[in-house]
Chain A
Amino acid sequence: MTALSPDVVALRRRRSRRRSEMLQLSATLPALLWFLVFTIGPLVSLFYFSTVNWRGLIAPRTPAGFENFVRLAGDPVVWLATGNTILQLVVTLPIVVVGAFMIAYYLNLKPRGHRFVRALMFTPVLLSASALAMVFIGVFAPKGMINGFLEILGLEQLARPWLANGDSAMLSIIIVTIWCSMSVSAIMLAARLNSIDASVFEAAEIDGCGHFRRMWSIAWPMCREFVGVVTMLQFLWTLFSSAAVVLLLTKGGPGNATATLSFLVYDFAFNQSKVGYSQAVAVVLFVVGVVGILVIRRAFRQKY
């Protein structure tokens, strides 16, 4: 073998390093395969299924092009569900994020009893979607907690079957969403606030900053990016996971008063035998989710 120029040696070395890297990374193949088969695969086929006409899981499917999406645009139920989803997001997100931030700031001042409050706030994390919904069946029942409380106050005229009443059903769903997610967001934000150097707040205090200004002019901008992460999680949770709450508390009713987009994905596919059509809704939902994430990420970009 003749002597090789340094370039060729370097190239060979790079190649062999690359080969050994590939060998090493072969250990990631099973995990990647799992990810591909059970996560990416279903997601990609979602787009195909949204373009077929298909009445049941075992019925034959026929191609339908964009027919499902055209039908979608003219379907009053879908519009109603879109309105409900928007209402849910518009009410839930600001209340949860701002409320959780204020609670987190309060907890971080370590007032008396903050340990107890923290432990209590952790409970909703442990509740599954079905346990959560079942807790609130008792709360909203005609003879449940809220009506019982109103009776004690002598306000019987305000009592109503909260979930069976078209006016209050969506409000009830939103209350459940806020109840179970505010505390988790607050715990996460409290941990982030705790990592801010205490001297920052002390300096502000010496400069005569009250808690209100310290909270909104210092803590908020410093946590901006993390607040964005919390908002993003809350957004995804509200958009997708609340379907279980709707299904178990109201089944979308009364009428379609509490149908949300994610609930319709389930309802069309499994109760109404419109599988292809339900996948069109799922595509819309997925796009809304991705766009929402990008918008939130942009809105909460760190500004310094």
Chain B
Amino acid sequence: MTTTLEAPAPSRTTASAPRSTPRRRTRGGALARTGPSKYFAHAGVWLYVILLAAPLYYLLISAFKRNTDIFNQPFSPFTPLTLDNFGLAFSQASLGTALLNSAYITIGAEVLTLALAVPAAFALARAKGSLGQMVERIFALGFLIPGFAALVPTVLLSIAMHLFHTREFLILFLPASAMPLTVILLTQAMRAVPAELEESAVLDGAGPLRVLWSVYVPLAVPTLTVVAILNFLSFWNEYFFSLVIIGPEATLRTAQVALPTLSIANAAQYGVLAAGILITLIPAYLVYAVFAEKMENAVLAGALKG
């Protein structure tokens, strides 16, 4: 036992790049070698999987079912299927407009975030002095600030800026909440750029902007993707600030704010609501499908630095 504890402690950074360990395994994985207790482990985890999957399964089949079938045969996938729920969800909550609003805010905020964070990370990565460290620490402090606590003052700020009940305030506000993580992750990525590359670019007559654009940005693309995915998820899924700042006005509200109105309009029909949930999930799922591997790294990176 003591010998095992003296093994070198793995550094934290390795966690973000999980590597596969070559290990000989019997069929059924490492658990197969242990005694009967393994059945408890299998049973426990699969019970958890069922509990995790049940609401999702229920959501998925309900979206395609008629209301009476949801009540009478809640778990059967063999009832007549219908797509009516999707049409109703679209029209009752004007989801089309809402999705466009969400897309507008998400893309706007995403562009602004990167426009602010990339130069900052570039400067921080090259700064060698104590001042740079201080600035970096200020951003790191941002992790500890729970944005929700400042909900009301943020509303007041939007009023003071004459941007209350507008989507533009969210485009301005959301990048601030994403700034700490984006700047820190990008700084770390840019610090890994070899100094020789920059020197040779400078020798060729490149100015700072050119160095940033032609040397640093291309090399930071993997991290840029990671932060872009993380920010996309948090911007697209933002609920509370959109609710109180943009408000319930049907032409301006986001998809996440429009979605709950379906539950009020259809108190006794889960089908339409379920269809609405699936519709608002599609963009996130598309991103997940395309970037599955990257996305898991993104969520991990977010946690590791948090």
Contact = CB atoms under 8 A, between A and B. Distances in A.
B231 interface: no
A46 B146 CA distance: 12
B239 A286 contact: no
Interface stretch (A66-74, A82-90, A122-130): A122-130
A236 B257 contact: no
Contacts of A31: 116-117, 119-120, 139, 179, 183
Interface string B154-179: 11110100000000000011011101
A61 to B, nearest CB: 11
Contacts of B138: 32, 35
Interface stretch (B198-206, B220-228, B272-280): B272-280
Contacts of A198: 21, 23
A177 to B, nearest CB: 14
B152 A195 contact: no
A57 B159 contact: yes
B171 to A, nearest CB: 11
A200 B1 CA distance: 10
A78 interface: no
Residue of B59, B233, B285 ringed by the most chain A CB atoms within 10 A: B59
Interface of B: 1, 3-5, 7-10, 12, 14-16, 18-19, 21, 23, 25, 28-31, 34, 37-38, 41-42, 44-45, 48-49, 51-56, 58-59, 62, 70-71, 74-75, 116-117, 119-120, 122-124, 126-129, 131-132, 135, 138-139, 142, 144-157, 159, 172-173, 175-177, 179-180, 183, 233, 236-240, 244, 256-257, 259-260, 262-263, 268, 270, 273-274, 276-277, 280-281, 284-285, 288, 292, 295-296, 299-300, 303-304, 306
A217 B1 CA distance: 9
A283 to B, nearest CB: 8
A18 B303 CA distance: 34
A224 B30 CA distance: 23
Interface stretch (A4-12, A154-162, A166-174, A226-234): A226-234
B45 A106 contact: yes
Contacts of A112: 28-29
A178 B229 CA distance: 24
Main secondary structure on chain B at its contact with chain A? Answer: helix
Contacts of B304: 188, 226, 229
B280 A38 contact: no
Residue of A31, A32, A125, A218 ringed by the most chain B CB atoms within 10 A: A31
A42 B153 contact: yes
Nearest to A287: B149
11 contacts: A31-B117, A35-B142, A117-B49, A122-B296, A128-B239, A138-B273, A188-B304, A195-B10, A195-B19, A207-B1, A229-B306
Given A240-B146, A265-B152, A188 B303 contact: yes
A25 B260 CA distance: 45
A289 B12 contact: no
Interface of A: 17-18, 21-22, 24-28, 30-32, 34-35, 37-43, 45-46, 49, 57, 99, 102-103, 106, 109-112, 114, 117, 119-131, 133-139, 141, 143-145, 148-149, 152, 179, 182-184, 187-188, 191-192, 194-200, 203-204, 207, 209-212, 217-218, 221-222, 225-226, 229-230, 232-233, 236, 239-241, 243-244, 248, 262, 265-266, 269-270, 275, 278-279, 282, 285-286, 289-290, 293, 302, 304
A25 B117 contact: no
A250 to B, nearest CB: 12
A197 B152 contact: no
A191 B18 contact: yes
Given A34-B179, A188-B303, 9 more contacts: A26-B123, A103-B45, A138-B270, A141-B270, A143-B268, A145-B54, A233-B306, A278-B152, A289-B149
B4 A139 contact: no
Contact of B273 (A137, A148, A262): A137
Main secondary structure on chain A at its contact with chain B? Answer: helix
A17 B116 CA distance: 25
Given A134-B260, A199-B7, A46 B55 contact: no
B177 A39 contact: yes
A21 B129 contact: yes
A240 B18 contact: no
B144 A192 contact: no
A129 B148 CA distance: 13
A28 B124 contact: yes
Given A42-B154, A139-B58, A240 B148 contact: yes
A248 B9 CA distance: 44
B20 to A, nearest CB: 8
A127 B75 CA distance: 22
A22 B131 contact: yes
Contacts of B48: 99, 103, 182
A27 B132 CA distance: 11
B119 A28 contact: yes
Nearest to A109: B30
Given A21-B128, A27-B119, A45-B156, A126 B4 contact: no
